[in-house]
Copies of this chain bind each other. A is one copy, B any other.
Amino acid sequence: MHRSRVSTLLIDVPHAERDAADAFWGAALGVEPRTVPDEEQFTSLPHAVPGLVTAVQGVDDAPRYHLDIETDDVAAETARLVALGAVEVRQWLECRTLRVPGGHLVCVIPLHSDPAEFEAAARTWP
């Protein structure tokens, strides 16, 4: 048995647009953008969306949103989603990036959010 939930909304933005995006999203959602120590590709938007970690991420790619699914068992969750039709496209540290049916990106990541929010929202898989 393992558990997972949609934990994170990433606003992926080309590096050249990063400052403009950080400023826009902070003002648009009414929060103070915060750099993330040792993870300079991320700008956190704390409490922008209740229950979700929300951040801007600088990428070498076109602008896109993507979702992270956090789990207490990355291998099991990845296998579950692959069995549902997802295809693993990349691995970065402990995170697995999947292309899911329909074409969207989803990353499977280890637990990283508020434990109480994970407890409240996670689903359990056999």
A34 at the interface (CB under 8 A from B): no
Query: In the complex, what residues of B have CB within 8 A of residue A29's CB?
Result: 6, 123
Q: Are A51 and B48 in contact (CB under 8 A)?
A: no
Q: Are A102 and B50 in contact (CB under 8 A)?
A: no
A interface residue count range (under 10 / 10 to 19 / 20 to 34 / 35 or more):
35 or more
Majority DSSP secondary structure for residues of A touching B? mixed
Copies of this chain in its oligomeric complex: 2
Which of A11, A24, A80 has the largest number of chain B CB atoms within 10 A?
A24
**Contact flags A87-103 to B (C-beta < 8 A → 1, else 0):** 00000000000001111
Within 8 Å of chain B (Cβ to Cβ): is A21?
A: yes
8 contacts across the A-B interface (CB closer than 8 A): A6-B48, A6-B49, A11-B104, A13-B102, A21-B102, A24-B86, A28-B84, A50-B120
